[in-house]
Structure 1
Amino acid sequence: MRPLPRRLLTTAVTALLVSGLAACATTTSEPASTAAPAPARAGTPALGSFGFDVAGMDRAVAAGDDFYLHANGGWMRDTEIPADRSSYNSFTSIALETEKQVRNIIEGAAKDGSATGDLRKVGDYYTAFMDEAGIEARGLAPVKPRLDAIAGIGDRRALAREFGEQLRADVDLLNATDYYTDRPFGLWITQDLNDPSRNVPYLVQGGLGLPDRSFYLDGGRAAEIRKAYQAHVQKVLELAGIDDAAARATRILALETAIARVHATQEQTNDVEAGNNAWTQADFARKAPGLDWPVFMQAADLASQRDFIVWQPRAVAGISQLAASQPLQTWKDYLAFHAIDRASSYLPRAFADERFAFYDRTLNGTPQQRERWKRAVSATSNALGEAVGREYVTRHVDPKTKARAEEMVRNIVAAFGRRIDALDWMSPQTKAAAKAKVDSLEVAVAYPSKWRDYSTLEVRADDPVGNAERAEMFEYRRNLAKLSQPVSHDEWYMTPQIINALNVPLENRLIFPAAILQPPFFDPNADDAVNYGAIGSVIGHEISHSFDNTGALFDAQGRLHNWWTKEDFAKFDAAGKALSAQFSTYKPFPDLAVNGDLTLGENIADVAGIATALDGYRLSLQGREVRTIDGFTPEQRFFLGFAQAWRSKYRDAAMRNAILTDVHAPGRYRAQTVRNIDAWYEAFGVQPGQALYLAPEQRVKVW
């Protein structure tokens, strides 16, 4: 039932086989849809012998004027966004087939009366979600115990207990950059920033129903969204039979606006050093007075935890103060609304439809709700992700594909090390530390070596709300257990069936799930140049995250530690500022530009990733002669493979949300990153006077 990570490798509109995204922080991430794009280009494009979509190009547009349209203009012209999506991109094209495979696994488990163990749970979770008649008959009964508990809150001590009981492990600050929770606070448990030998809990701001504080405080479109959100709150309360819904909705919006005022901004939250605030249990009462913290900690099963890292201390203090100063009844109304809203996907159709109407249609411009089976597949794959993933791997992952991808990783890691050696601006001292980090980098490809144990998770075929709640609590308790366990670097933060990739900075580790090892990112039958341009740039991107403006702050052991000389870091920082300025010139709308500071880490990773992947491709040749294929040179094929991996279309509302909240620039602008790579100019004969041309001294070179 919780919103899921919206920021991994791709933009906020990545097609992920996950669920519950309607209320996520950008509300533009969506589970995969099997609705096809326009008939002219449905599903995976027809690839030439070179391995990329030549028909999807528009060669009437010069590469030097708009490389994105040069590579993707035909695709942009002929592709329509499916009615049940707010966007469509290359990840979606993979997700279409992957979702069918996952559906077969899940529905097969549901129909198999002899299924046992995790597969039985997978089948029962899906069955419960699909039981519309049973859901209608039960009405609001499944959430009544929570609503009764909220109604019974009689004082501030009971309010603190409710806050604590609601705490879940539903955020991820550095891996998935998922900062959003609609609960008052979020919890992330992982390795200590300052001591890699132990795990600690990180407390994170929460409490908003809209994607970000700016939606509460800005004018223009944000003001219109606020009106629609207030109407949504009122409608949910009315559907639940709660009286005086209009007045309650007004007060709930006012409370959330007060919470938004104390929230950290996206840019502030991205500042790791500013987030590194070690608090003891006793510090909460002194630094964040208002909430009864001992009661909160007891209810959250954290009473014995000695210390925490509080990521946004001003927000935590502000929410704590609001717990004391805002009327108790307003808090109770707020908690009741969110309990219902959070469960809406598992409640009678009127609630699910209202959820779609606001979070998808109004907020993101999506015209049509996804079919119920698609939502059920996503919800099941989310709740029991590795149980589904284990079966997916058995049926659909070719060991040869895994081995070839691992070979590419080795070449690209080696290429990155060589790039460090060749840097003329970095001192030997800093180079040695950087090389140590490369040498200790761990990479996991396709699937985990150890699968998650779901034996303690209860799943019932007649209890969809309870299943979702128990799955959340299972995940919370699994994370709490880390506090008493040694640090381990074998956890996967994605399932094999997710089309994405991940850098884990605290562990100096990369993860590449099996599902991304498909065209257009990776084709075992395609030309190496194209594969290195597509999946190779993804691999290079993730390696480079260990050395972006955030990753560069961590040493080889994942400790927040400055391993740079002052002079070297100043040069690195200057390159970052130049790249931020470059991306801030891109304007998807006349009144809204890409936020170069917010997207800086991803943009650094793209620049370095392309350069490293190209070096890796050259390294892989081992002296073999390269040739032109169908009129395209190897380096042209490389760059076209890269650009076509980032083809994407957005509905305007989804694009606006992504610009405001996503740490990735939209795919169109990511494709234009090539203007910083010298080899691109040579490959396409780009000359001064063309729109993308940058003089050599203006091209940003980070690694």
Structure 2
Amino acid sequence: MKQKFVLTLISAALALGAHAASRSGLDVEHFDKNVRVQDDLYLAVNGNWLKNTEIPADKPSHGSFLILRDLAESQVRTIVETAAGQKGAAGSAVKKVGDLYQSYMNEGLIEQRGLAPLQATLSMVDGVKNNKGLAAVLASFTSLGIHTPFAAYIGQDEKNSTSYIVNIHQSGLSLPDRDYYSKPDAKFVAARVALNLYFEKLLKLSGESAVDAAALLAFETELAQVQWTKVDNRDPHKTYNKKTQLELNLLAPNFAWADYWQAMGLADKAEPVIVSQPSYIKAVGDILAKTPISTLKAWLTFKALDQYANALPKAYADLAFDFHGKALSGVPEQKPRWKKAIAATNSSLGEAVGELYVAKYFTPDAKVKMDVMVNNLLAAYRHSIKDLTWMSPETKVKAQEKLAKFTVKIGYPEKWIDYSTLEIKPDDLLGNLQRSQRFEFAREVAKLGKPIDRKEWGMTPQTVNAYYNPSMNEIVFPAAILQAPFFNPLADDAVNYGAIGGVIGHEISHGFDDQGSQFDGDGNLVNWWGKQDGVAFKALTSKLVAQYDAYEPIAGKHVNGQLTLGENIADLSGLAVAYKAYQLSLGGKPAVKLEGRTGEQRFFLGWSQVWASKMREPMTLQLLLSDPHSPGEFRANGAAVNSDAFYEAFGVKEGDAMYKPSSERIRIW
């Protein structure tokens, strides 16, 4: 399911700081003593680590966030391999977890069976003769999680958050972003060449005798040319287009919609639907109609092979890695088989694994301490809203009402997903993956017509991340992120508030960023702002756009301040509110000095160390185009340079590289 407006703290490839070593929780051995905090907070805290750390050969980036992910991965591995070694009750969740992992690790059987496990899917594609057959295959692929030119998913109605509705959105590209298909930059040209080669090699390996790779690239290029930009897709009003089936048929009359919904099991449930990008759907209907069936069948075959490459013989996995890993991300080595197996088990049986993970690794003390911190952050946010100078009293009341309706979820869900009807076999990897996808899709479809499940989670407990969901108006912190360096119950409060406090503040702030602020406390897309308040907010955020537009992580390649605006607002405001919460936690008493540093200084050092990251250039380029998060160094410095408290803590003055005149500092929440 596409989580359209679930705004995460960290992008999938971003790595943060390193493990706490000192009593305070600061990684002092990673500090660069030759760099003054006043000149570069990020390098002063992380410079030594950056100089001495190499990115692992199987990763596109590295840092303590990924180290924490590695820790969670190894913890899950212990759980899963234990489950695989137990006999377990037939049909039990533990048995299914072990069996799925075992099926992934049985490389000998996978090699022996070749393409046979995927044959039913490939035969379905081969049988396409007309528009009706094409619609049925696209529907089947959607239920399997295979990318097609557009996809349907079940989500909350953004203007009626009490009900579920079917959504359609653009999809299908094999390259990371539409710009890869058109820009003359040498790196994009190389990516297109790599994709062309991947089309040819993967299809020929599967037995295709004649492959017209140029036609496949031309097809995807046509899709890319009519897709909406990432910036346009951030506008919830632009992407909210409710259509009846009659209107959808008029929008794209060349596509067999009735057959599509019938094959998906939504024949009587897809009325109405939300079309995220109407102009794209209209264009795709025409593109599909004019593209030769032979090209479409070859492309769909490629998509199926690409989706399941790691569940097929090694030759398929190697080709997939050469493209996705080496060509697009600059990663020289594949992950070990066990890591891929853990990822697949987490994806297919996430909450079954999560229940085992929480029982073994999550302590009640962590939840209690997090509750205290979250309450302090919410209290600080209430004070911040009250003290705003740019917002009218009437809109402040509505902002406070929204804040009061926030739901906080910490650790793990109250109710776990029931996997009892999902069949998992120890000797059928590809079948397991397909049945898991269909199980999840059926679970989503079953929500239609039922009340919103507000206890459901969008992440598993073993996920090292956090999120805010505007339709639910909730902030969620999975168990796995509640570990050092983000949260260490034994470390200094100042460092914890700078680290996990910044995370909490970040997620709360998503409720009031340029996207989240368009939803009310009940999760509805509705304007609750006074006209002048909206103008004032736009003026402030435009300054933030300009600040981040100026950052240049690769020569000639800048951060997109508009694409990253929501995350930059959340960083800026999250840091400010976390600092206020830290001050509240002191109860009016001054912070003690520790290791020669004031509490205020330790707070900002703790903030900076969680953003330390190293990333391969191809991945940086990819994320600059597609990721709503700024690179780590700009997240650390970009927020701090606007913080009055940072200037006070370190005596930053005119002439220092981090100095910004008070009149130019951006203060939003």
TM-score by length of 2: 0.97
Matches of 2:66 and 2:520, distance apart in 1 = 35
Partner of 1:320: 285
SS of residue matched to 1:381: helix
Partner of 2:8: 8
Residue 77 (1) aligns with residue 43 (2): no
Residue 507 of structure 1 deviates from its aligned partner by 0.8
Equivalent pair of 1:2/1:342 in contact (CA under 8 Å): no
SS of residue matched to 1:274: coil
Report the residue type matching 2:127 in the other structure: G
Residue 164 (1) aligns with residue 139 (2): yes
Partner of 1:20: none
SS of residue matched to 1:512: strand
Residue 159 of structure 1 deviates from its aligned partner by 1.0
Cα RMSD (Å) of the superposition?
A: 1.8
Residue 260 (1) aligns with residue 260 (2): no
Change (3 A) 1:438 1:313: same
Partner of 2:28: 54
Which residue, 38, 41, 50 being the options, matches 1:64? 38
SS of residue matched to 1:198: strand
Report the residue type matching 2:572 in the other structure: V
Superposed CA offset, 1:454-492 (max 9, x none):
111111111111111111111111111111211121111
Percent sequence identity is 43
Residue 701 (1) aligns with residue 667 (2): yes
Partner of 1:129: 104
SS of residue matched to 2:397: helix
Partner of 1:440: 405
Residue 63 of structure 1 deviates from its aligned partner by 1.5
Residue 15 of structure 1 deviates from its aligned partner by 6.8
Partner of 1:388: 353
Report the residue type matching 2:438 in the other structure: M
Partner of 2:120: 145
Which residue, 497, 519, 523 being the options, matches 1:532? 497
Superposed CA offset, 1:277-333 (max 9, x none):
001111111012211111111111121121111111111111111111111111111
SS of residue matched to 1:521: coil
Which residue, 649, 653, 657 being the options, matches 1:683? 649
The 10-residue stretch of structure 1 (481-490 or 400-409) with the greater mean CA deviation from structure 2:
481-490
Matches of 1:191 and 1:375, distance apart in 2 = 32
Residue 104 (1) aligns with residue 78 (2): yes
Equivalent pair of 2:100/2:425 in contact (CA under 8 Å): yes
Partner of 1:662: 627
Residue 491 (1) aligns with residue 459 (2): no
Equivalent pair of 1:59/1:70 in contact (CA under 8 Å): yes
Residue 82 of structure 1 deviates from its aligned partner by 0.5
Report the residue type matching 1:257 in the other structure: T
Matches of 1:685 and 1:169, distance apart in 2 = 57
Residue 574 (1) aligns with residue 532 (2): no
Which residue, 375, 378, 388 being the options, matches 1:410? 375
Partner of 2:203: 237
Matches of 1:596 and 1:409, distance apart in 2 = 29
Q: List gaps (5 residues or longer) in structure 1.
A: 17-42, 171-180
Matches of 1:541 and 1:114, distance apart in 2 = 42
Report the residue type matching 1:373 in the other structure: W
Residue 549 of structure 1 deviates from its aligned partner by 0.1
Matches of 1:648 and 1:115, distance apart in 2 = 44
Matches of 2:587 and 2:219, distance apart in 1 = 63
Change (3 A) 1:14 1:112: farther
Superposed CA offset, 1:497-528 (max 9, x none):
11000001001101000110111100000010
Change (3 A) 1:187 1:362: same
Superposed CA offset, 1:358-379 (max 9, x none):
1001110001111101111111
SS of residue matched to 1:275: coil
Which residue, 62, 71, 81 being the options, matches 1:88? 62
SS of residue matched to 1:94: helix
Matches of 2:531 and 2:425, distance apart in 1 = 58
1:277-292 correspondence runs (5 A): 277-292=241-256
Report the residue type matching 2:225 in the other structure: R
Residue 276 (1) aligns with residue 240 (2): yes
Matches of 1:194 and 1:4, distance apart in 2 = 14
Partner of 1:428: 393
Superposed CA offset, 1:79-106 (max 9, x none):
1100110101221121222211100100
Matches of 1:681 and 1:376, distance apart in 2 = 48
Which residue, 272, 275, 284 being the options, matches 1:310? 275
Report the residue type matching 2:116 in the other structure: A
Superposed CA offset, 1:647-671 (max 9, x none):
1100011111111100000111100
Equivalent pair of 2:38/2:658 in contact (CA under 8 Å): yes
Residue 623 of structure 1 deviates from its aligned partner by 2.5
SS of residue matched to 2:475: strand
Which residue, 294, 298, 304 being the options, matches 2:258? 294
Report the residue type matching 1:700 in the other structure: I
**Number of residues of Structure 1 aligned to a counterpart in Structure 2:** 665
Residue 222 (1) aligns with residue 188 (2): yes
Superposed CA offset, 1:4-24 (max 9, x none):
9997211341479xxxxxxxx
Matches of 2:364 and 2:176, distance apart in 1 = 40
Partner of 1:607: 572
Matches of 1:492 and 1:122, distance apart in 2 = 20
Residue 622 (1) aligns with residue 587 (2): yes
Residue 214 of structure 1 deviates from its aligned partner by 0.9
TM-score by length of 1: 0.92
Matches of 1:155 and 1:98, distance apart in 2 = 47
SS of residue matched to 1:266: coil
Matches of 1:3 and 1:484, distance apart in 2 = 19
Matches of 1:491 and 1:372, distance apart in 2 = 31
Superposed CA offset, 1:152-208 (max 9, x none):
1111221122112222486xxxxxxxxxx7322223322211112211111110111
Matches of 1:477 and 1:218, distance apart in 2 = 40
Change (3 A) 1:405 1:93: same
Matches of 2:478 and 2:2, distance apart in 1 = 22
Residue 64 of structure 1 deviates from its aligned partner by 2.3
SS of residue matched to 1:282: helix
SS of residue matched to 1:676: coil
The 10-residue stretch of structure 1 (598-607 or 473-482) with the greater mean CA deviation from structure 2:
473-482
Which residue, 541, 551, 556 being the options, matches 2:521? 556
Equivalent pair of 1:169/1:186 in contact (CA under 8 Å): no
Residue 504 (1) aligns with residue 469 (2): yes
SS of residue matched to 1:199: strand
Equivalent pair of 1:15/1:499 in contact (CA under 8 Å): no
Residue 692 of structure 1 deviates from its aligned partner by 2.3
Matches of 2:63 and 2:10, distance apart in 1 = 10
Matches of 2:247 and 2:379, distance apart in 1 = 46
Equivalent pair of 1:459/1:467 in contact (CA under 8 Å): yes
SS of residue matched to 2:76: helix
Partner of 1:35: none
Q: List gaps (5 residues or longer) in structure 2.
A: none
SS of residue matched to 2:62: strand
Superposed CA offset, 1:619-660 (max 9, x none):
111123411111111011000101101111000111111111
